[in-house]
Chains A and B, each alone.
Chain A
Amino acid sequence: SAVISQKPSRDICQRGTSLTIQCQVDSQVTMMFWYRQQPGQSLTLIATANQGSEATYESGFVIDKFPISRPNLTFSTLTVSNMSPEDSSIYLCSVAGPLNYGYTFGSGTRLTVV
Protein backbone atom coordinates (compact mmCIF):
# COMPACT_ATOMS: atom_id res chain seq x y z
CA SER A 1 0.00 0.00 0.00
CA ALA A 2 1.05 3.63 -0.47
CA VAL A 3 3.10 5.49 2.11
CA ILE A 4 1.90 8.99 2.98
CA SER A 5 3.97 11.77 4.48
CA GLN A 6 1.81 14.48 6.03
CA LYS A 7 3.07 17.68 7.58
CA PRO A 8 3.06 19.51 9.83
CA SER A 9 2.21 16.91 12.43
CA ARG A 10 0.84 19.57 14.73
CA ASP A 11 0.53 23.32 14.98
CA ILE A 12 -0.89 25.99 17.23
CA CYS A 13 -2.25 28.94 15.29
CA GLN A 14 -3.78 32.30 16.04
CA ARG A 15 -7.38 32.87 15.07
CA GLY A 16 -7.81 34.66 11.77
CA THR A 17 -4.69 33.12 10.23
CA SER A 18 -4.39 30.27 7.72
CA LEU A 19 -2.51 26.98 7.77
CA THR A 20 -1.55 24.84 4.80
CA ILE A 21 -1.20 21.10 5.32
CA GLN A 22 0.81 19.02 2.87
CA CYS A 23 0.35 15.42 1.87
CA GLN A 24 3.02 13.60 -0.16
CA VAL A 25 2.49 10.06 -1.45
CA ASP A 26 5.27 7.71 -2.52
CA SER A 27 3.38 6.55 -5.62
CA GLN A 28 0.93 7.98 -8.11
CA VAL A 29 -2.65 7.70 -6.93
CA THR A 30 -5.87 8.71 -8.60
CA MET A 31 -8.03 9.49 -5.62
CA MET A 32 -6.95 11.56 -2.62
CA PHE A 33 -9.21 12.64 0.19
CA TRP A 34 -9.09 15.09 3.09
CA TYR A 35 -10.84 14.32 6.39
CA ARG A 36 -11.46 16.21 9.59
CA GLN A 37 -11.65 14.58 12.98
CA GLN A 38 -12.99 16.91 15.63
CA PRO A 39 -12.04 16.17 19.27
CA GLY A 40 -13.58 12.90 20.40
CA GLN A 41 -15.43 12.48 17.11
CA SER A 42 -15.31 10.28 14.07
CA LEU A 43 -13.88 11.23 10.68
CA THR A 44 -15.80 13.48 8.34
CA LEU A 45 -14.88 13.78 4.68
CA ILE A 46 -14.08 17.36 3.67
CA ALA A 47 -13.39 16.90 -0.02
CA THR A 48 -11.95 14.74 -2.76
CA ALA A 49 -8.83 16.24 -4.31
CA ASN A 50 -8.88 15.88 -8.07
CA GLN A 51 -5.75 16.17 -10.16
CA GLY A 52 -6.03 18.93 -12.73
CA SER A 53 -9.44 20.18 -11.62
CA GLU A 54 -11.20 21.70 -8.64
CA ALA A 55 -11.75 19.61 -5.57
CA THR A 56 -15.17 18.14 -4.90
CA TYR A 57 -16.49 19.31 -1.53
CA GLU A 58 -18.90 17.55 0.77
CA SER A 59 -21.96 19.21 2.19
CA GLY A 60 -21.00 21.74 4.84
CA PHE A 61 -17.52 22.43 3.47
CA VAL A 62 -16.68 25.21 1.02
CA ILE A 63 -13.70 26.09 -1.12
CA ASP A 64 -13.20 29.53 0.42
CA LYS A 65 -12.69 27.99 3.85
CA PHE A 66 -10.78 24.87 2.77
CA PRO A 67 -8.98 25.50 -0.52
CA ILE A 68 -7.30 22.38 -1.88
CA SER A 69 -4.57 21.97 -4.45
CA ARG A 70 -3.66 18.81 -6.35
CA PRO A 71 -0.88 19.72 -8.78
CA ASN A 72 0.09 16.13 -9.58
CA LEU A 73 -0.74 12.52 -8.75
CA THR A 74 1.53 12.36 -5.68
CA PHE A 75 0.87 15.60 -3.83
CA SER A 76 -1.98 17.64 -2.36
CA THR A 77 -2.43 20.51 0.06
CA LEU A 78 -5.34 21.56 2.25
CA THR A 79 -5.50 25.10 3.60
CA VAL A 80 -7.62 25.96 6.61
CA SER A 81 -8.41 29.65 6.13
CA ASN A 82 -9.38 32.39 8.54
CA MET A 83 -9.21 29.98 11.43
CA SER A 84 -11.35 30.04 14.52
CA PRO A 85 -11.18 27.82 17.63
CA GLU A 86 -13.92 25.66 16.10
CA ASP A 87 -11.39 24.58 13.47
CA SER A 88 -9.29 22.86 16.12
CA SER A 89 -9.23 19.27 14.89
CA ILE A 90 -7.06 16.57 13.42
CA TYR A 91 -6.88 16.79 9.65
CA LEU A 92 -5.97 13.66 7.71
CA CYS A 93 -5.27 12.96 4.09
CA SER A 94 -6.06 9.60 2.60
CA VAL A 95 -5.43 7.80 -0.65
CA ALA A 96 -7.39 5.01 -2.23
CA GLY A 97 -5.49 1.82 -2.78
CA PRO A 98 -6.66 -1.45 -4.24
CA LEU A 99 -10.09 -1.97 -2.72
CA ASN A 100 -9.01 -4.98 -0.73
CA TYR A 101 -6.23 -2.93 0.83
CA GLY A 102 -8.55 -0.21 1.97
CA TYR A 103 -7.58 3.39 2.12
CA THR A 104 -4.26 4.51 3.55
CA PHE A 105 -4.16 7.48 5.90
CA GLY A 106 -1.49 9.97 6.74
CA SER A 107 -0.51 10.36 10.37
CA GLY A 108 -2.63 13.50 10.64
CA THR A 109 -2.13 17.16 11.51
CA ARG A 110 -3.30 18.14 14.97
CA LEU A 111 -4.40 21.77 14.76
CA THR A 112 -5.13 23.96 17.75
CA VAL A 113 -6.51 27.45 17.16
CA VAL A 114 -6.13 29.92 19.99
Chain B
Amino acid sequence: GEDVEQSLFLSVREGDSSVINCTYTDSSSTYLYWYKQEPGAGLQLLTYIFSNMDMKQDQRLTVLLNKKDKHLSLRIADTQTGDSAIYFCALMDSSYKLIFGSGTRLLVRP
Protein backbone atom coordinates (compact mmCIF):
# COMPACT_ATOMS: atom_id res chain seq x y z
CA GLY B 1 0.00 0.00 0.00
CA GLU B 2 0.85 3.65 -0.08
CA ASP B 3 3.55 4.83 2.29
CA VAL B 4 3.78 8.54 3.09
CA GLU B 5 6.69 9.91 5.10
CA GLN B 6 7.31 13.27 6.74
CA SER B 7 9.95 14.63 9.06
CA LEU B 8 8.57 14.90 12.58
CA PHE B 9 9.62 18.34 13.65
CA LEU B 10 10.59 21.74 12.25
CA SER B 11 11.51 24.88 14.16
CA VAL B 12 11.79 28.29 12.48
CA ARG B 13 12.04 31.90 13.55
CA GLU B 14 9.09 34.19 13.03
CA GLY B 15 9.35 35.92 9.65
CA ASP B 16 11.46 33.17 8.09
CA SER B 17 10.18 30.70 5.51
CA SER B 18 9.23 27.18 6.50
CA VAL B 19 9.55 24.18 4.20
CA ILE B 20 7.78 20.97 5.12
CA ASN B 21 8.62 17.90 3.09
CA CYS B 22 6.72 14.74 2.22
CA THR B 23 7.75 11.66 0.27
CA TYR B 24 5.46 8.93 -0.99
CA THR B 25 5.63 5.60 -2.77
CA ASP B 26 2.50 5.39 -4.96
CA SER B 27 2.75 7.59 -8.03
CA SER B 28 -0.87 7.05 -9.11
CA SER B 29 -2.34 9.61 -6.70
CA THR B 30 -4.39 12.19 -8.55
CA TYR B 31 -4.72 14.78 -5.80
CA LEU B 32 -2.24 15.60 -3.06
CA TYR B 33 -3.26 17.71 -0.07
CA TRP B 34 -1.80 19.63 2.83
CA TYR B 35 -3.78 19.78 6.06
CA LYS B 36 -3.16 21.78 9.23
CA GLN B 37 -4.09 20.63 12.73
CA GLU B 38 -3.94 23.06 15.60
CA PRO B 39 -3.97 21.80 19.20
CA GLY B 40 -7.34 20.37 20.15
CA ALA B 41 -8.82 20.99 16.73
CA GLY B 42 -9.79 18.96 13.69
CA LEU B 43 -8.05 19.10 10.35
CA GLN B 44 -8.17 22.15 8.12
CA LEU B 45 -7.45 21.81 4.41
CA LEU B 46 -4.74 24.31 3.50
CA THR B 47 -4.18 23.62 -0.15
CA TYR B 48 -3.99 20.89 -2.73
CA ILE B 49 -2.18 20.16 -5.97
CA PHE B 50 -3.29 18.10 -8.91
CA SER B 51 -0.83 15.48 -10.07
CA ASN B 52 -0.25 17.10 -13.46
CA MET B 53 1.00 20.30 -11.81
CA ASP B 54 4.53 21.06 -10.65
CA MET B 55 3.77 24.07 -8.50
CA LYS B 56 0.87 25.88 -6.97
CA GLN B 57 0.95 29.18 -5.11
CA ASP B 58 -1.77 30.40 -2.80
CA GLN B 59 -0.90 33.61 -0.91
CA ARG B 60 1.86 32.64 1.57
CA LEU B 61 1.71 28.98 0.61
CA THR B 62 3.68 27.36 -2.22
CA VAL B 63 3.32 23.67 -3.03
CA LEU B 64 5.97 21.94 -5.11
CA LEU B 65 5.49 18.49 -6.60
CA ASN B 66 8.35 16.44 -8.01
CA LYS B 67 6.70 13.36 -9.44
CA LYS B 68 9.97 11.80 -10.57
CA ASP B 69 11.31 11.81 -7.01
CA LYS B 70 7.83 11.34 -5.46
CA HIS B 71 8.39 14.39 -3.32
CA LEU B 72 5.89 17.00 -2.18
CA SER B 73 6.72 20.13 -0.24
CA LEU B 74 4.87 22.99 1.39
CA ARG B 75 6.59 26.34 1.76
CA ILE B 76 5.13 28.92 4.13
CA ALA B 77 6.48 32.40 3.52
CA ASP B 78 6.84 34.92 6.37
CA THR B 79 5.97 32.30 8.99
CA GLN B 80 3.94 33.62 11.91
CA THR B 81 3.42 32.26 15.42
CA GLY B 82 -0.14 31.39 14.38
CA ASP B 83 1.32 28.95 11.89
CA SER B 84 2.53 26.74 14.74
CA ALA B 85 0.65 23.47 14.27
CA ILE B 86 1.00 19.95 12.91
CA TYR B 87 1.01 19.73 9.11
CA PHE B 88 -0.07 16.57 7.33
CA CYS B 89 0.40 15.71 3.71
CA ALA B 90 -2.24 13.36 2.33
CA LEU B 91 -2.65 11.50 -0.91
CA MET B 92 -5.81 10.16 -2.45
CA ASP B 93 -5.55 6.53 -3.42
CA SER B 94 -7.41 4.76 -6.22
CA SER B 95 -10.37 4.09 -3.87
CA TYR B 96 -10.78 7.81 -3.08
CA LYS B 97 -9.40 7.26 0.40
CA LEU B 98 -6.90 9.64 1.95
CA ILE B 99 -3.57 8.25 3.08
CA PHE B 100 -1.89 10.55 5.60
CA GLY B 101 1.72 11.18 6.38
CA SER B 102 2.95 11.05 9.94
CA GLY B 103 2.68 14.81 10.37
CA THR B 104 5.30 17.51 10.90
CA ARG B 105 5.10 19.63 14.02
CA LEU B 106 6.03 23.22 13.14
CA LEU B 107 7.21 25.45 15.97
CA VAL B 108 7.56 29.15 15.22
CA ARG B 109 9.87 30.97 17.60
CA PRO B 110 9.27 34.67 18.25
Give the interface of A toward B (CB within 8 A). Answer: 1, 6, 31, 33, 41-45, 48, 92, 94, 96, 99-108, 110
For the complex, is B61 an interface residue (Cβ under 8 Å from A)?
no
> Which chain B positions have C-beta within 8 A of A96?
96
Main secondary structure of the interface of B (DSSP, over half): strand
28 contacts between A and B (CB under 8 A): A6-B42, A33-B98, A42-B100, A42-B101, A43-B88, A43-B98, A43-B100, A44-B100, A48-B97, A92-B42, A99-B92, A100-B48, A100-B50, A101-B48, A102-B31, A102-B33, A102-B35, A102-B45, A102-B90, A103-B33, A103-B98, A105-B35, A105-B42, A105-B43, A107-B41, A108-B41, A108-B42, A110-B40
> Which chain A positions have C-beta within 8 A of B48?
100-102
> Which chain B positions have C-beta within 8 A of A105?
35, 42-44
8 Å CB contact of A99 from B31, B42, B43, B100: B31
> Which chain B positions have C-beta within 8 A of A1?
45
Tell me the count of chain B residues lying within 8 A, CB to CB, of chain A. 22
Question: Knowing that A42-B103, A92-B42, A99-B92 are A-B contacts, what are 15 other residue pairs whose CB atoms are under 8 Å apart, sorted by A's residue number?
Answer: A6-B42, A31-B96, A33-B97, A43-B100, A45-B97, A96-B96, A100-B48, A101-B48, A102-B31, A102-B33, A102-B35, A102-B48, A102-B90, A103-B45, A107-B41
- In the complex, how many angstroms separate the beta carbon of B25 from the nearest chain A beta carbon? 15
Residue of B nearest to A44 (CB): B100
